[in-house]
Structure 1
Amino acid sequence: MLKFSSPRSDASRPCVPNLLPCRIDHNGPVDASPRYWAPEIASDGKPEAYFRGRKLKGKEVKVPTGYKGVIVKEAKKEDTGKDTEKKDVRDGRDNEEEAEEFSMLQDLGSFDKVMLWGHESIVESEDPFVKGMEEWIGFAEAMHRPGKSEGP
């Protein structure tokens, strides 16, 4: 189960995550100098950048209306303190219940768009990230939409 910690003064600051078409063994903020990361608007009006000598073209992908992107990190874990053993009075058997663990998440920032970068070309709408974001949200809405339950 997840819980959010109360926001600090610098929490939920707006940001724009950049998804690069490469693998970098780091997950978090970077204090990148303009020498290494300086996206610009090209003559065609589209975002463009160079990363390690490779030309990248950017596409802004908006978070769907009614949703908000949040950047979190795991802060700590808590135990609910439930009893680990209970006796079933009806048949005398011992039933063990594991203590429920909560993960605390600290809110670091929020976003309403993501910049998706592609090698030398703009990422198309058939990109797995773009499709996944659109399809997952549609699927989640369908799963949680109130409706008639089917049954006997």
Structure 2
Amino acid sequence: MLAITPVVKSTEPAAVNLLPCSISHNGPVSATKKHWDPTMEGKNCTAYFRGRKLHGRTMELPEGVVGAILETTTDLVVPTSSQENDNNENEDEEGSETKVVKTLATFDKITVWGHGQVPETGDGGVVRSMEEWVQFAGRIHSWEDEE
């Protein structure tokens, strides 16, 4: 199991970009306008990365949904005595550890980039998958009022 910690301080939302390439780095970079300077045209944008023209589409997360950039830690949550009693009553929970996941930043939109064309919803790619995931997550984490 995982326990997610909240953001320690209130900051600007992170700029999240999904590039169509593989880079062996996972984390922030100190890119300058010389390296990364996207131009916006409505919800679509254009940028150059290592000499290649990329077209992007910015997707805003629905109201009430917050994206989070997380980092797993080796820390474990120490259960309180009431949590221990609850765990002993449920045999499926016995022996499971709860690791702490640190929230590094939050975001409210993501830009998905493609080579030569703007990523579209109907192409079966990332944009469509993300839209479907947000709808699916909304359904499984909500409930209807019983009448």
Distance 1:37 1:113 in 2: 18
TM-score, normalising length from structure 2?
0.75
> Which residue of structure 1 aligns with residue 100 of structure 2?
104
Which structure 2 segments of 5+ residues have no match?
A: none
Partner of 1:135: 132
**How far did 1:65 drift?**
2.0
Q: For each residue in 1:13-34, what CA deviation from the matched residue of structure 2 results, as whole angstroms up to 9, or x when unmatched?
A: 4112011111111111111122
Q: 1:124 and 1:45, CA in 2 relative to 1: closer, same or farther beyond 3 A?
A: closer
* Structure possessing the higher radius of gyration over alpha carbons: 1
Residues 68 and 120 (structure 1), Cα distance of their counterparts in 2 relative to 1, 3 Å cut: same
- Report what 2:75 is aligned to: 77
Of 99, 110, 116, the match for 1:114 = 110
* Contact preservation (8 Å) 1:12, 1:107: no
Stretches of structure 1 lacking an aligned partner (at least 5 in a row): 87-94
Aligned partner of 2:5 in structure 1 is 5
Distance 2:69 2:29 in 1: 14
Q: Secondary structure at the match of 1:33?
A: coil
Contact 1:72–1:107 (CA under 8 A) maintained in structure 2:
yes
Amino acid at match of 1:118: G
Relative to structure 1, the CA distance from residue 132 to residue 7 in structure 2 (aligned partners, 3 Å threshold; closer, same or farther) is same
**In the alignment, is the contact (CA less than 8 A) between 2:3 and 2:100 conserved in 1?**
yes
SS state at 1:121 partner = coil
**Deviation (angstroms), 1:7:** 3.4
Shift of 1:98: 5.4
1:131–1:29 Cα change, 3 Å: same
* Partners of 1:77 and 1:101 within 8 A in 2: no
* 1:142–1:19 distance in 2 versus 1, CA, 3 Å: same
C-alpha contact (below 8 Å) 1:38/1:49 kept by paired residues: yes
> Number of paired residues?
137
Q: Which structure features the higher share of helix residues? A: 2
Q: TM-score, normalised by structure 1?
A: 0.72
**TM-superposed deviation, 1:112:** 0.9
Contact 2:77 2:99 in 1 (8 A): no
Q: Distance in 2 between matches of 1:45 and 1:144?
A: 28
Q: Which structure has the highest strand share of the two?
A: 1
Question: Is the contact between residue 70 and residue 110 of structure 1 (CA under 8 Å) also seen in structure 2?
Answer: yes
- 1:92 corresponds in structure 2 to none
